[in-house]
A and B are shown apart, each in its own frame.
Chain A
Amino acid sequence: DVVLTQTPSILSATIGQSVSISCRSSQSLLDSDGNTYLYWFLQRPGQSPQRLIYLVSNLGSGVPNRFSGSGSGTDFTLKISGVEAEDLGVYYCMQATHAPLTFGSGTKLEIK
């Protein structure tokens, strides 16, 4: 199975600070069809996950543009440009290039 390693596991930020979360894959996520099936989700406390980014860098519907995704192959990054209070929660990356689908272990974002 593909292992996704997220760093850091805990991130503490002040309002307005820009932060990045890394997601590294044990295998390339570039599919033979040319797509890279890497996604980012946010799970706020007590809520179900919400998809933020799809196919590495595409912003989900209704997602604020302070969120951005980048990367290729095995290295991916989620950036929040100007953290807001509502951004607290756990961030997960997920890959769907290889079966079974797998999630990273999560990065908890705390607001100082």
Chain B
Amino acid sequence: QIQLVQSGPELKKPGESVKISCKASGYTFTDYAMHWVKQAPGKGLKWMGWINTYTGKPTYADDFKGRFVFSLEASASTANLQISNLKNEDTATYFCARGGSGIMDAWGQGASVTVSS
């Protein structure tokens, strides 16, 4: 069955960087895009952007341009999200979700990032 398994919780200090992984299984990784969605504590869902898993081209929503990088390890069917120069407002759960024609029909379990001095 289709599965997206994300990396574990992270505790970071302001100014540090973090890398979150999303490993896909049960389908051909490069046939479907990967989306990233942010959920701050107690808040709703916010779309961060997506990455074309065939070409590697990322597209970022305006609020996520600059410190956020989507990347791939296609040979490992893995999509990554890296956040640099962490700020308190980056404290959130980050979800990966499968894209393409079956947009967001499968989600990772979420990766919690806490930024605190």
Contact = CB atoms under 8 A, between A and B. Distances in A.
Interface string A50-63: 11001000001100
A105 B109 CA distance: 21
B63 to A, nearest CB: 9
Given A48-B95, A49-B95, A102 B107 contact: no
Interface of B is mostly: mixed
A94 B97 CA distance: 13
Most chain-A CB neighbours within 10 Å: which of B35, B46, B97, B107? B107
B44 A92 contact: yes
B109 to A, nearest CB: 6
B89 interface: no
Interface string B68-103: 000000000000000000000000000101000011
A92 B43 CA distance: 12
Contacts of A67: none
Interface in A34-90: 37, 39, 41, 43, 48-51, 54, 60-61, 90
Interface of A: 37, 39, 41, 43, 48-51, 54, 60-61, 90, 92, 94, 96, 99-106
Interface of B: 35, 37, 44-47, 49, 59, 61-62, 95, 97, 102-105, 107-110
